[in-house]
Amino acid sequence: MSDGLALNWRRIPERYAMKGNHCTNCKQDYFPSRMICPNCRRKGHLVSKDMPRIGKIVSYTKVMVGPSGFENEGNYYLALIDLGSGAKVLSQIVDSDEQDIHIGASVKKMFRKIGEVEEKGAITYGYKFKVVKPLTEDQVEALKEKNKK
């Protein structure tokens, strides 16, 4: 973990709200945001855009040995997530049953503590994702009942 306070502070819009950007010329989303569109370069026009808060797992791994700053995390899941808008994100998967984490699983964005900026004691926050399971038939029925009332 890098301990520069400003380094983490300037990433707050990206890490808290998943603010990226979008090229109005080629319609591609970028996360994190870029200074120029790599497809269109000077012909591109980038505008700020909040990334979708849901996506699908493209690949995942269970990390058994973490790097410095993550020694106390135990085992954790990391996944590449397709946000369905041309952008992908790498994130931890939390609050999910192990058997539900698979390629193609739907996930949604959560707000979580990521780590601590060691010497200065500041805590970094950001996005992690959790698996959202489709509702079972019983749950759908129950919801329908509830809506009738």
Partner 1 sequence: MSKLRRVAMIGAGLTKFGEHWNLSFRELGTEAAIKAVENSNIDGKEIEAMYIGCMASGRFVGQEHIGALVADQLGLNPIPSTRVEAACASGGLALRTGYLSIASGEHDIVAVGGIEKMTEVTTAEAGFALGGAGDQETELFHGATFPALYALLAKVHMKQFGTTEEQMAAVSVKNHKNAVHNPIAQFRKEISIEQVMKSGYVATPLKLLDCSPISDGAAAVILAEIGLAKKLCENPVEIIGSTHATDSLALTGRKSLTELNATKVASAQLFHQTGLTPKDIDMAEVHDCFSIAEILAIEDIGFFKKGQGGPATEQGKTALDGEIAINPSGGLKGCGHPVGATGVKQAAEMFQQLRGEAGGRQVKEAEIGLTHNVGGSGATCVMHAFRLMENR
Nearer to partner 1, 45 or 88 (CB): 88
- Contact region with partner 1 (CB under 8 A), list: 21-29, 44-52, 71-79, 140-148: 71-79
Beta bridge partner(s), residue 130: 108
Instruction: Please state, in angstroms and rounded to a whole number, the distance separating the CA atoms of residues 13 and 9.
Output: 9
Side by side, which strands form the sheet with 29-30?
29-30, 19-23, 46-50
Site size for partner 1, by CB under 8 A? 35
Question: Using CB under 8 A, which of 6, 35, 47, 64 touches partner 1?
Answer: 64
User: Got the DSSP string for 72-99?
Assistant: GG-SEEEEEEE-SSS-EEEEEE-SS-GG
What are the residues whose beta carbons fall under 8 Å from the beta carbon of 34, sequence distance 6 or more?
21, 46
Site for partner 1 contains 35 (CB under 8 A): no
Strands 19-23 and 46-50: antiparallel
Site for partner 1 contains 78 (CB under 8 A): yes
Tokens of 10: 């300037």
- Contact region with partner 1 (CB under 8 A), list: 45-53, 61-69, 130-138, 140-148: 61-69
Question: Using CB under 8 A, which of 18, 87, 117, 131 touches partner 1?
Answer: 87
- Contact region with partner 1 (CB under 8 A), list: 39-47, 78-86, 132-140, 141-149: 78-86
Site for partner 1 contains 93 (CB under 8 A): no
How far separated are the first and last CA of the chain, in Å rounded? 52
State the chain's maximal CA–CA distance in angstroms.
57
Site for partner 1 contains 59 (CB under 8 A): yes
Binding residues for partner 1 (CB under 8 A): 1-2, 11, 31-32, 58-71, 73, 76, 78-80, 87-92, 103, 114-115, 124, 126
